[in-house]
Each structure stands twice: as C-alpha cells, then as structure tokens.
Amino acid sequence: MTPGDSSSHPGVVVVTGVSRYLGAHVAARLVTDPRIERVIGIDLREPSPEVAGLLGQVERIRVDAGSVGGLLADLDVDTVVHLALASAPDQQQGGRAAMKEQNVIGTMQMLAACQRAPRLRKLVVRSSTAAYGASFRDPAVFTEETEPREVPRGGFGRDILDIEGYVRGFRRRRPDVTATVLRFAPFIGSTADTTLTRYFSLPVVPTILGRDARLQFLHFDDALEVVHRSVTEDHPGTYNVAGPGVLALSQAIRRAGRLAVPMLEPGLSGAAALARTMGLGRYGLDQVDLLVHGRVVDTTRLEREYGFTPRSTAAAFDDFIRAHHGRSVVTREQLAAAEQLVLDQIRRVRAAVREQP
Amino acid sequence: MRRDEMRPDNGQVARQQPDPARHNGRRPTAAADRPVLPAEPHPPAVPDRPGDVWDQRIAGGLAFLRRRLAGDYEVDEFGFDPELTEAVFHPLLRRLYRDWFRTEVTGLENVPTDGAGLVVGNHSGTVALDALILSTALHHEHPARRYLRLLGADLVFRMPVVSEIARKTGGTMACNPDAERLLRGGELVGVFPEGFKGIGKLYAERYKLQRFGRGGFVSAALRTGTPIIPVAIVGGEEIYPMLADIKPLARLLKLPYFPVTPTFPWLGPLGMVPLPSKWLIEFCPPIPTAHLVDSADDPLVVFNLADQVRETIQQTLHELLERRPDPFGP
C-alpha cells in the first residue's frame, strides 16, 4: 500500500491519548527522533498540567475519535500509535461509562479510521496483561498464546478483551498493515503515577488475607523504549512487555517499607467500591483480582524479536522505592538496628546468666 | 543450571555467603549467615566464645527475620521461595518424616542429580501428606538435595492460605503449560495422576491404584523428553484411614469427599493428628522418553506409557507391602 516508500522509517506518526501520561511521554520522545518526519498528537481533552510541559514540540490536534478518519487521509499518516486507554474510572471524567466509551468505542472508531487510511502501514496498540483475565485454573506464567479462562470481573480487563478482539478483526481486513499489540504489565518507576504506585505509596497497604499475589512491573522508561522501537522497527504480532522476575505482594510491600493489613476478600471489594464512590481512590475489581490471582507473563518473545530486555521487576520496583523513600514506615536501617539491639540484649542476658555460679 | 538459581543463596543473600544449605547441613540459617549482620564491625557486647552454637543460632535467626521483614529474598515466577522452604517448611516436615513416620527411602539413585525428571507417585491418605513427605525425602536424602516441584489440583489454589503455602514451597497448578515450563527449566516435578480419586478412597481399597486420568503428565514428559520416575509410597493409606465418605456433606461444602476416620470428626481437632504408620518410599528406574518426543500427541503412545507407569507403581507397592507386614511397626 505504500508504493515508492523505500525507507522503512516512518513518515507521519499519529499518537493518540497525548493528554495522558504515557501518550505525552511517547509523543515527546518520538519528536526527538530525527528518523521520524512528523509527530502529531491527538486527543479529546487538553493535556493534564503535569504533562503539558512535555508537549511543547508536538503538534497537537484536538479531535474526537469519530472524525479521525478524515485526518488520517489528509495528513498522509503511515503510523498510528494508539495509547488512548483509561485503566481505571475517573470520577471527574465521567466514571466507568466514560472509561468504556474511551477504551472500547474510541478504539473501535480509531481502527475503523485506520482501515480506510490508504497509506497506513503500521499500527501500534497499547494493551495490558489484564488480557489474560484472572482465574484459579490459570497457569502460573502466561505466554502470548494463553487464552483467558474466564471473562474478567473488572471493567478494564473486559475492555482489553474487546480491544484485542477489534485488533484481530483489523488484522484480517488489512493484512498489509504491520499491527503490533503490546501487552504491558503495570507501569512503575520513579515518576510514573498509576493506580498501583499510589497503592504502594499508602502507609498502610490493604492486602487480601491468605493471598500473596505474584506481581510483575514494567519500568516506565522501558515501556517508552518498546513503543519507540515498535514505531521505528517492524514487529508484527502480540508481545508481553514486563520486567523479568517476580515480586510477591508481601515482599514488595516489605521492600517499600510499608505495612500490610490483610483483609477478607469480600470486605476489600466492598471497601474498594466505597472508596471509589467517595472519590478517594480509583481501585476496583481489576485491582482486587490482581491482588488475589497475581499475574506473571513470559517475555521471551519480546526479548527475542526486539533484542531488548526490560529491567527486571525487582529493579523497576527499587527505582520506585528510591523515589518514594522518604515516606517509608519501616526502613532497612531501622530493621538492622532493631536486629542488633535484640542480639545485644540476648547476649547481655546470657552473659549475666553465665557469670552467676 | 536453573536449579541453582532457585537456591536460597541467590540474589541478595548470595552477595554475602556461599550456599548456606550445603555448608551447614540441616541448619541453613545458623552459623553460615552470621557475617551477614550489617552491624558486625562493632565488637559484640559479650565476647564470643568459640563454638557457642546458641549465639550463632540466635544471630542467624535474627538475620533471617530481618531479611524476611525487609523483603530481601527471591521468589521464582511460580512463587517458589527457597529460603522460606529451607528454613521453615522442611525442618517442620523433617520432624514428621523422620520421627513420626520413620520413613525409609530406597532407589534414590534413580533420581537424576541435575536436570529434569517427572516423579509420578501413588496418592493416598485423605489429606495429601504423601506429597509433602515425598518432597522431604528428596530434599533430605538425595545427595543433590533436590526440591520437588509439586503439581496440585485447582482446589488447592482456590483456597486462601493453602494456595500460598503451596506456591511458596514450590507447588503450582497441575496443568500442562506449568508442568512443561518447569521441566524445560530442568526441575524435578512431582505429580499424582490419581488426584482426588487416590486420596479420597476408602481404607478398604488401600494400595489399589485408581484410574490415571487422561495421562496429561505423560504428554508433558514426552513433549520435553523428560524421564518418568515412578515412585511407590507405602504408609500414606494408614495415616487417616477413611471408613466412610459423607457425600451430601461434601457436596454442601464443595469438597471432593467428606471423610470419616476412626478419629475424625469425633475427636475434633485431635482427629487431625495423623496415625504414626511406618512409611516406605521406593523410586523405580526411570523410563526414558527422549526418543518419543514426536509421539506426544499420539494417544496410544500416551496411554501405553501411562499404563506402564501405573503397573510399575502397583507392583512396587505390593513388594513394599510384603517388606512391611505391620503398618504401625518400628
């Protein structure tokens, strides 16, 4: 579909969701790549204040997903990076209904527009490891071929399944377009602000009694790297993107110097619902399911095809801890001091006992 | 070797000391960990007496506690926590294994020192203690102190607490992707193809092998070319002799069976104490499968191999029973 396009470098790249953290960072990064001719960021909303500074050099167009079609044709777009996904409902932005509208309907319209864009040759779609759902009969490690056994309870998980379904349809109808689906593990890092980083920043962290989920994180900078490579290189297919290795939830909480408070699972679901209606947090069934079942993916395919290994889950989490260190409840130094104190006391008592005849 | 990565000396701990498990025999957390103490440069408040084993044990225990509280340990992708298993679960199980069940193990030379192996055993005993005793036997008696990675029914992973103990001690869901992943990683995997049919059978049917399911374990071994090591376990049937199964109650509680033993539920929690039967475990010669890798999807090959394993275990069970005339003997 792109006759005469001798170079494999992308010309006009459209990034959706630039008002959000990931979209803004990706757009800002692609702009600095001299191999890319032009980067256009599109979104419905004005960028949030914390990312507005990044978008200085990025051409921005405010457009709703329904009218993207004309835009793609007019601008001769050859690459679309679709990142406009909301991972948790935001009460200020219309809650779950708006989230579904953006995730499912937004992606549907975006793909419809892409299908009719004649010069399009690459599509990169953000997905999530939530695509594997959560079930007690799941294997311990998901490869890209694993099918979800149960439809997830959480809204985001269901949205992801729908989105990937639409991408499958798009692949069938436009086999000439290189479609890359990136299933990201939850982001973490020194600056990323996500549902999960806020969770680990709580001084007292609610967990589920009798469950210790295996978690994987992806360093935010590695996520940027993978999206960047997906744009400049050709990697058709679906990829798990996560930091190798695993942290148990209890272990992560201890490393972060927080205190875990185990709660009964129905209680936690209720508390999450309550907190959401009171606008306290954005925790939902997606998060509860993650904490019950955990989620670990195999990243062999990514490492082989991209020649890139994200930093390990433990290293990514360490970076997060360093940035949030000031708010630890229990520090390593305190533990070491306590250990020494107890040891000294025991030795003193034993010595005293021994000296008595 | 991946197996070595699973050892407790990996990662954070490795920086400080070579494998404490190997150097220190049965007390991994004791003396070898002492130099780990961050505040060690200060002279101790009480001058150390050489050979003060209690001092070393206390220091080791405290260092272990600190590492646990700080999260300074590694778990693998299945959730296996070798440090916790080595320091907490195996010492507890060893008590049961040695002092309570007086277990005797033969045929350990049939278990490979490194590399993958699929250990297939008979299941019995109302509560699946036999799996835990088998893993203790391998870790305690095998020269390479191998960890047995057990495959458990989904019921195990549905239950809170139990599921996490199972994962932390190296278990995972019995499904082909997990089994094959572990075998490809060079692990020793333990499986009981009888499942609940085996542990939930009545005392009258003791040591009669039940049906072997669909032979999923054989196809996992075939796909990875892993040798199958049949193992016969005698002693498990007598720990909670199941006299009756109250099916309506089981259905109500969503359990595969509801056991009635001479002590349970009559004695309440006391009925949970297993009877001190005499245990014999024999590992049979491995059945190689490397030449059958292409037949993993051939049902006939799979069934025949499953039958062969079943026959081997059944025969060995009879031999062991002859060697043990009194179930509660010395």
Q: Does the predicted TM-score (pTM) go above 0.90?
A: no
Q: Which amino acid is present at A255?
A: R
Quick check: B92 pLDDT over 90? Answer: yes
Task: Say whether both B15 and B90 belong to one domain.
Answer: no
Please tell me the distance from the alpha carbon of residue A92 to that of residue A48, in angstroms, as a whole number: 13
Taking 70 as the threshold, does the pLDDT of residue B4 lie above it?
no
Q: Does A210 touch chain B (CB under 8 A)?
A: yes
pLDDT above 90: percentage of residues in chain B? 69
Q: Would an 8 Å CB–CB cutoff place A163 in contact with chain B?
A: no
Given this structure, which CATH class describes domain A12-334? alpha beta
Shortest CA distance to A14 belongs to which of A22, A3, A23, A5?
A23
B6 and B140 part of one domain? no
Q: Is the pLDDT of residue B31 over 60?
A: no
Closest residue by Cα to residue B142 from B188, B100, B79, B82: B188
The strand pair at B104-106 and B172-173 is best described as: unpaired
For an interface test with B, the pick among A254, A259, A268, A288 (most B C-beta atoms closer than 10 Å) comes out as A254
Least-confidence region, from A157-166, A297-306, B259-268: B259-268
- How high is the pLDDT of residue A16? 93
Restricting to A residues 7-46, those with a Cβ less than 8 Å away from any Cβ of B are none
Count CB neighbours of B42 within 10 A.
Answer: 9
Counted domains in chain B: 2
Q: What pLDDT is stored for residue A280 in this prediction?
A: 54
Strands A237-241 and A247-248: unpaired
**Given B66, B79, B167, which is nearest A335 (Cβ)?**
B66
| B233 and B283 belong to one structural domain | yes
Cα–Cα dist A241/A313, whole Å: 11
Tell the burial category of A125 from Cβ atoms under 10 Å away from its Cβ (0-12, 13-18, 19+). Answer: buried
Which uninterrupted H or E stretch holds A351? helix A332-355
pLDDT tens track for B192-203 = 999 999 999 999
**For B287-311, what is each residue's pLDDT tens digit?**
999 999 888 889 999 999 999 999 9
Domain that holds residue B13: 2-70
| Shared domain check, B191 and B160 | yes
Tell me if A211 and B154 make a contact (CB, 8 A cut-off).
Answer: no
Cα distance between residue A344 and residue A350, in whole Å: 10
Question: How does pLDDT run across A56-87, given as a tens digit for each residue?
Answer: 888 888 887 677 878 888 888 999 999 999 88
pLDDT digits (tens, 9 = 90+) for B214-246: 889 999 999 999 999 999 999 999 999 999 999
List of long-range contacts for B291-294, beta carbons under 8 Å, 24+ apart: B292/B222, B292/B225, B293/B222, B293/B223, B293/B225
Query: Over the stretch A239-278, which tens digit does the pLDDT of each residue have?
Result: 999 999 999 999 999 999 989 988 887 777 777 766 666 5
Does the residue B259 lie in any domain? no
Average pLDDT over residues B272-288: 95
Do the chains contact at A212 and B77, CB–CB below 8 Å?
Answer: no
pLDDT at A225 over 80: yes
What integer pLDDT is reported at residue B12 of this predicted model? Answer: 42
Residue among B38, B45, B79 whose CB faces A347 most closely: B45
Name which of A84-98, A197-211, A215-229, B287-301 the model is least confident about.
Answer: A84-98
Same domain, B230 and B155: yes
Residue A159 — very low, low, confident or very high, per pLDDT cuts 50/70/90?
A: very high
What residues are paired with B229 via a beta bridge?
Answer: B119
How many helices (H) and strands (E) are present in chain B, helices listed first? 14, 9
DSSP E strands, A71-229: 79-82, 122-128, 178-184, 187-188, 204-208, 214-215, 218-219
Decide if pLDDT at B42 tops 60.
no
The helix/strand count (H/E) of chain A reads as 14, 13
Distance from CA of A327 to the nearest CA of B (A): 15
Instruction: Name the residue facing A348 among B45, B75, B78 (closest C-beta).
Output: B45
Interhelix angle A285-293/A265-277, nearest 10 degrees: 150
- We report the CATH number of the domain holding residue B169 as 3.40.1130.10
Binned at pLDDT 50, 70 and 90, residue A326 comes out as low
- Residue range A215-227: average pLDDT? 96
Average pLDDT over residues B100-125: 95
| In chain B, % of residues over pLDDT 70 | 85
Quote the tokens at residue A130: 């939530």
Q: Is the pLDDT of residue B178 over 80?
A: yes
Residues forming beta bridges with residue A261, ordered by sequence position: A206
Higher-confidence position of A287 and A222: A222
Name the residue in chain A with its Cα closest to that of B59.
A343
Residue B297 is assigned to a structural domain of this protein:
yes
A1-27 pLDDT, tens digit each: 334 343 467 789 999 999 888 999 999
Note whether A339 contacts B: Cβ–Cβ < 8 A.
yes
Query: What DSSP state is assigned to residue A179?
Result: E
In terms of domains, do B50 and B197 share one? Answer: no
pLDDT of A139 higher than 80: yes
Q: How confident is the model at residue A332 (pLDDT cuts 50, 70, 90)?
A: confident
User: What is the length of chain B?
Assistant: 330
CB contact under 8 A, B77 and A137: no
3-state secondary structure of A165: helix
Residue A17, Ramachandran bin (φ over 0: left; ψ between -120 and 50: alpha; else beta): left
What is chain B's mean pLDDT, rounded?
85
Predicted confidence (pLDDT) at residue B27 exceeds the cutoff of 60 = no
Closest CA to A187 of A320, A51, A280, A89: A320
B268 Cα distance to chain centroid = 27
What is the Cα–Cα distance from B188 to B72, expressed in whole angstroms?
26
- B172 touches A at CB < 8 Å: yes
Which positions in chain B touch A267 (Cβ < 8 Å)?
Answer: none
- What mean pLDDT is reported for chain A? 87
Q: Which of residues 67-96 of B touch A (CB under 8 A)?
A: 68-73, 75-79, 81
If asked whether residues B210 and B298 sit together in one domain, one would say yes
User: What is the distance between the alpha carbons of residues B188 and B179, in angstroms, rounded to a whole number?
Assistant: 10
pLDDT band at B267 (very low <50, low <70, confident <90, very high): confident
Point out which residues pair with A43 in neighbouring strands.
Answer: A62
CA distance A138 to A148: 8
Average pLDDT of A37-49? 86
Query: Quick check: A347 and B46 CB within 8 A?
Result: yes
Q: In the predicted model, what is the mean pLDDT of residues B175-186?
A: 95
> Are residues A344 and B45, on separate chains, in Cβ contact within 8 Å?
yes
Instruction: Describe the crossing of helices B299-323 and B216-224 by its angle, rounded to 10 degrees.
Output: 110
On the question of pLDDT at B113 being above 50, the answer is: yes
Which token pair is B312?
Answer: 């081997």
- A81 in contact with B, Cβ within 8 Å: no
Query: Does any CB of chain A come closer than 8 Å to the CB of residue B26?
Result: no
Q: Which of A146, A336, A346 sits opposite B66 (nearest CB)?
A: A336
B61 and B153 share one domain: no
Query: Alpha carbon A215 to chain centroid distance?
Result: 13
Q: Are B281 and B159 found together in one domain?
A: yes
Contact call for A339 and B65, based on CB within 8 A: yes
- Give residue A42's identity as a one-letter amino acid code: I
Final residue before a domain boundary, out of B70, B98, B116? B70
Q: What pLDDT, on the 0 to 100 scale, is given for residue A323?
A: 86
Which of B29, B69, B76, B83 to mutate to probe the A interface, most A CBs <10 Å? Answer: B69
Write out the H or E segment, with its range, that includes residue A31: helix A21-31
Report the C-alpha dihedral over residues B10, B13, B14, B19, rounded to 10 degrees. Answer: -80
- If asked whether residues B233 and B88 sit together in one domain, one would say yes
Instruction: Write out the two tokens for A300.
Output: 């062999």
* Residue B50 burial (C-beta neighbours within 10 Å; 0-12, 13-18, 19+): exposed
Residues B199, B103: one domain?
Answer: yes
Which of the four pLDDT bands, split at 50, 70 and 90, describes residue A91? confident
Q: Is residue B186 part of a domain?
A: yes
**Among B70, B100, B127, which residue terminates a domain?**
B70
Higher local confidence (pLDDT), B326 or B31? B326
Q: Which residues of B touch A144 (CB under 8 A)?
A: none
DSSP H helical ranges for B95-211: 129-141, 154-158, 162-168, 176-184, 196-199
The ipTM is: 0.88
Nearest to B178 among A140, A335, A350 (CB): A140
The pLDDT of residue B43 is above 80:
no
Own/partner contacts of B85-92, CB < 8 Å, gap of 24 or more, are: B85/B147, B85/B168, B85/B169, B85/B170, B86/B8, B86/B21, B86/B28, B87/B8, B87/B28, B87/B29, B89/B165, B89/B168, B89/B169, B90/B136, B90/B139, B90/B140, B91/B26
Q: Cβ contact (<8 Å) for A141 and B167?
A: no
- Tell which of B70, B93, B128 closes a domain: B70
Q: Indicate whether B111 and B233 sit together in one domain.
A: yes
Please give the Cα distance from B230 to B211 (Å, whole number).
15
B130 pLDDT higher than 90: yes
Provide the residue ranges of all domains of chain A, joining segments of one domain with +: 12-334
